[in-house]
Structure 1
Amino acid sequence: MGRSRTVAGVAGVRERILAAATELFAEQGYAATSVQQVVDRAGVTKGGLYHYFGAKEDLLIEMYRAVFGERLAALDRIVGQGRDPEWTLRAIIDDIVVGTAAMIKESAAVSRELAAMDNERTQRLQADWRRYQETVRGLIRDAQEAGVFAAVASPEIVSWSIFGVTNSLHTWYRPDGPKPAAAIAEELADLVLTGLRA
């Protein structure tokens, strides 16, 4: 299979390798993709791949860092502004929906495959995900205890109603679909916050 337009248009070797792996993992899964397929699509040698990545697993971990690292940094920026809980939760929902949609292929590859891997490196990544969840739940919990949000559901259920949509976004969202990501984010935030209003 020849290189796609996406991969052909990426200049750097490392970036071409990641773009090729992202497409292949999203199309056929991590386990079904060989290193040879990645190098063929990227138009590089195996030596070129191993210069940047020690193993195929490193490609998946790098994708996770690209997808989730941005979301975690954005979460910290949003929460760090110290604004009211409704504004903060709306901004978090907007960021996670719009950010995930912007990296939909990477999100598809990561969400399907990383959960099945269990080693020291992936456990560190999963610890970041737990920190993200706990930050969102802490925001909801604090607002409920202060009487700003209604305690109609636990912080865990509220957060999973958000994460359930965003973690499955790659299965149904289409960039050329009827609604842009920002509109989906707004609707989801409206739904969640309407239920939480005291």
Structure 2
Amino acid sequence: MGGTRPATGGKTPRGSVPERLLDAATRLFAERGFEGTSVQQVVTAAGVTKGAMYHYFGSKDDLLYEVYARVLRMQTEHLVEISSRDASVSERVHAAAADVIVTTVANLDDSTIFFRSMHQLAPEKQLSVRAERRKYHELFRSMIEQGQREGVFRDDVPADLIVDYYFGSVHHLSTWYRHEGALTGKDVGRYFADLLLAGLRPQE
């Protein structure tokens, strides 16, 4: 699963049926847009039948939801593990800040689709995505607040604003990052995390 999924080139796609459908949908939604992609195009690219698709996904809307939700679930699992490490709060925040960059870059198509097309989801699915994102942001914020209480991070800026500032940068990655560029996802993750920690140091 990555931001540069290759076309199948006429070969039978590999993986489970849901994986093949999601990979095909991700690639086509990124290339043609959600509205410009038909269910038939998705199932053809995935090498399955419509019946097989509807066994796993009730609609094209469900595919769009899952394209982003699966990345968010993975990022949340990473954050839960990072936040529970036996490490300083600075180390945990740095690792979490870098991880969300690396995983976003690795799944750049998914992020592009989310910010371009998620408004087309049914209202209840939009609410579900927002609720899951809020859980992620709240856990990230809790580490910032811990650092502020311990005097490791500056406390003159609200933790909510720090989280919004950082993730605003993360959410714009899909507008400028290119896999063929000079920087890898790990490079960008390290630089962004370094900048965040530098900005969090208490003012002298």
The TM-score normalised by the length of structure 2 is 0.86
Which range moved further: 42-51 or 166-175? 42-51
Kindly indicate whether the alpha-carbon contact (under 8 Å) linking 2:61 and 2:122 is maintained by their aligned counterparts in 1. Answer: no
The 5-angstrom pairing of residues 101-112 of structure 1 reads 101-112=105-116
Over the matched positions of the two proteins, sequence identity in percent amounts to 37
Distance 2:168 2:127 in 1: 21
**2:147 touches 2:153 (CA, 8 Å); kept in 1?**
yes
- 1:146 matches 2:150: yes
Tell me by how many angstroms 1:102 deviates: 1.1
* Aligned counterpart for 1:131 among listed residues 120, 132, 135: 135
Q: 1:63 aligns with which of 67, 70, 83?
A: 67
- 1:7-156 alignment runs, 5 A limit: 8=11, 10-11=13-14, 12-156=16-160
Q: Which has the higher helix share?
A: 1
What's the secondary structure of 1:37's corresponding residue?
helix
Is the alpha carbon distance of 1:166 and 1:62 closer, same or farther for their aligned partners in structure 2, counting shifts above 3 Å? same
SS of residue matched to 1:5: coil
Report the Cα distance in structure 2 between the residues aligned to 1:185 and 1:14, rounded to whole angstroms.
Answer: 30
Give the direction of change, closer, same or farther, for the CA distance of 1:6–1:14 in structure 2 (3 Å limit).
Answer: farther
1:118 offset after TM fit, Å?
4.5
C-alpha RMSD of the superposition = 2.1
> What letter corresponds to residue 26 of structure 2 in structure 1?
T
Are the counterparts in 1 of residues 61 and 121 from structure 2 also a CA contact under 8 Å? no
Unpaired runs of 5+ residues, structure 2, are: 1-5
Residues 85/60 of structure 1: CA separation in 2 closer, same or farther (3 Å cut)? same
